Chains A and B, each alone.
Chain A
């Protein structure tokens, strides 16, 4: 009994430890005060208004959406292609190549950022949307690869062989059988890619110019310049968007599974 209670208390404390920063910041989004601090004098939505009307914030939100969408598309396509390639048993050093694809997850972002800036400048892509999208894609691809590789591993190879024997060319097999069956993995991969791009600060600091200021970057700089509760509002927006996207994925996976069974 005591042990059980102990476990419960520990679990609650651990969760609290993880979400404490959120609890600290979220109520401040609704403050009417002009500084980011407790206590909250009264409730207001003025900082959300600020977020959508102030030019810097509005631009940041739009930039985040543009870069996030671009990253999602590029990373999903590349990640899908990589996962399909990694399925081929005839590839030499398959394990090593797979590890290579996952490397950006563990390489320090600072190192990547420096290298990326030098490289992009060389190709004339510094301070451009394309540059930021490429940089974000590098760190997003591993998540896509992990997600889609898992989904592909769940596909019975004989199902694809059956399709081939029934007259489907390799391209048709991919379109009609492999891709639909891997769809849940592709979807989660895409969402992870979008989330990664949304959240990415370090690389953005290195490669983005003043015109590509993303929401995360804007929060980072404004917390140093003026500690306005607009940051809390932006954080709230962030979390809401993440939850929404996560919910969409869970829902779409559920629908896919239902379609496969119903």
Chain B
């Protein structure tokens, strides 16, 4: 696949404040890339620079090999979907969707046909004559989506488009957008602070913190193989345990915990023996047994609390040195507080990250 969008050493300052620092990022044609991060991490600024609403302080943005820094927004041919929908309140739904086609000087007949198809795609054909203010939030966002897609833009940019919707609707829209992406072969850059949204929809997720990419990879990579402490904590829930590297063998390292227990763990980056690190252990990868089993990594713990949460059982444990959380499948038996159990996990299910 050819690289379609490239951020080449992009830096953006707002006054003295650096919001994006020396960003290098390539996006392929037809790819769905999420920019994930907390607010203030620079992700929206990156999207605004790509759309042409903001100018980078330094660096070049390339689209299909051509620098577009000096191309004004209206000539970039990108569909933008905002969190606030940003529909034209003085136009009907149909007029909203027809707008980008009128801008391209299309004939009336063709516009009518395309608008009908675009509204059909988001199941809003019946509401073409309504005003945006007469629609629900979810419907408005679908209008915005169809308006951004109707002119077959080269790239579709979405700035937290589902943030204002309630949970159920949001999950439905996630699947709808994912489906549209696959069916139409769209290139989508999607900004969100919701990690589950990013994992659900993306081909690749770029995790941002303080204007820099912490890690970029497939949803599986960023979740299972977090490169940094920030990524491990930001995506999903995790147990972070301090330790010191004893030895490194290939893809694995042996880490000694303060309690003296040795843990064998997978590693993401380079670590050297003697280096203080953190172990990231996903709660759902922890098994609880009453007898010390065969597993390579075992921690002796005591149950402090156990909460039934419908789809899983959440058990809080206390080791000699640190607390630990385990999420067990619904078929698991109950654990009474005070019970001594062994928490076991494989080397693949924990990860060494720099502390």
CB-CB nearest in chain A for B53: A161
Given A260-B133, A261-B133, A262-B131, answer yes or no on A165-B90 (Cβ-Cβ < 8 Å): no
Q: Is the CB of A167 within 8 A of B89?
A: no
Please encode chain A, from 142 to 184, with 1 for each CB lying within 8 Å of some chain B CB and 0 for all others.
Answer: 0000000000000010110111111111101000110011000
Q: Give, as a whole number of angstroms, the nearest-CB distance from A144 to chain B.
A: 21
A170–B78 Cα distance when bound, in Å, is 16
Q: Is the CB of B100 within 8 A of A158?
A: no
Q: Is the CB of A169 within 8 A of B133?
A: no
Q: Is the CB of B84 within 8 A of A167?
A: no
Main SS of the interface on chain A?
helix
A44–B169 Cα distance when bound, in Å, is 71
A158–B104 Cα distance when bound, in Å, is 21
Q: Determine the chain B residues whose CB is within 8 A of the CB of A176 once the complex forms.
A: 99
Given A163-B99, A261-B133, A262-B131, answer yes or no on A169-B86 (Cβ-Cβ < 8 Å): no
CB-CB nearest in chain A for B84: A158
CB of B230 closer than 8 Å to a CB of A: no
- Set B74, B87, B134: member contacting A167, Cβ < 8 A: B74
Chain A CB count within 10 A is highest, among B99, B144, B148, for: B99
Q: Determine the chain B residues whose CB is within 8 A of the CB of A161 once the complex forms.
A: 51, 53, 73, 80, 82, 86
- Set A167, A180, A259, A260: member contacting B103, Cβ < 8 A: A167
CB of B219 closer than 8 Å to a CB of A: no
A254–B166 Cα distance when bound, in Å, is 33
Q: Is the CB of B53 within 8 A of A159?
A: no
Q: Is the CB of B100 within 8 A of A159?
A: no
- Set B74, B84, B87, B134: member contacting A164, Cβ < 8 A: B74
- Set A166, A260, A261: member contacting B100, Cβ < 8 A: A166
Q: Determine the chain A residues whose CB is within 8 A of the CB of B72 once the complex forms.
A: 164, 169
Please encode chain A, from 229 to 262, with 1 for each CB lying within 8 Å of some chain B CB and 0 for all others.
Answer: 0000000000000000000000000000001111
Q: Determine the chain B residues whose CB is within 8 A of the CB of A259 once the complex forms.
A: 90
A219–B88 Cα distance when bound, in Å, is 48
Please encode chain B, from 56 to 97, with 1 for each CB lying within 8 Å of some chain A CB and 0 for all others.
Answer: 000000000000000011111111101010111110000000
Chain B CB count within 10 A is highest, among A166, A172, A176, for: A166
Q: Is the CB of B89 within 8 A of A159?
A: yes
Q: Give, as a whole number of angstroms, the nearest-CB distance from B97 to chain A.
A: 10
Please encode chain B, from 107 to 137, with 1 for each CB lying within 8 Å of some chain A CB and 0 for all others.
Answer: 0000000000000000000000001011000
Q: Determine the chain B residues whose CB is within 8 A of the CB of A177 once the complex forms.
A: 88, 90
Q: Is the CB of B100 within 8 A of A181?
A: no
List residues of B (147-161) whose CB comes within 8 Å of A's CBs: 147-148, 151, 157
Q: Determine the chain B residues whose CB is within 8 A of the CB of A169 once the complex forms.
A: 72, 74
A187–B151 Cα distance when bound, in Å, is 34
A180–B147 Cα distance when bound, in Å, is 20
- Set B51, B104, B131: member contacting A260, Cβ < 8 A: B131
* Residue positions of A touching B, CB distance < 8 A: 156, 158-159, 161-170, 172, 176-177, 180-181, 259-262
Q: A156-B86, A166-B100 are in contact. List 15 more A-B contacts (CB 8 A).
A: A159-B86, A161-B82, A163-B88, A164-B74, A165-B73, A165-B74, A165-B78, A165-B157, A166-B79, A166-B99, A167-B151, A177-B90, A181-B89, A260-B89, A261-B134
24 A–B contact pairs at CB < 8 A? A158-B82, A161-B73, A162-B80, A162-B86, A162-B87, A162-B88, A162-B147, A164-B74, A165-B51, A165-B52, A165-B73, A165-B78, A166-B79, A166-B100, A167-B75, A167-B77, A167-B103, A168-B74, A168-B103, A170-B74, A176-B99, A181-B89, A260-B131, A262-B131
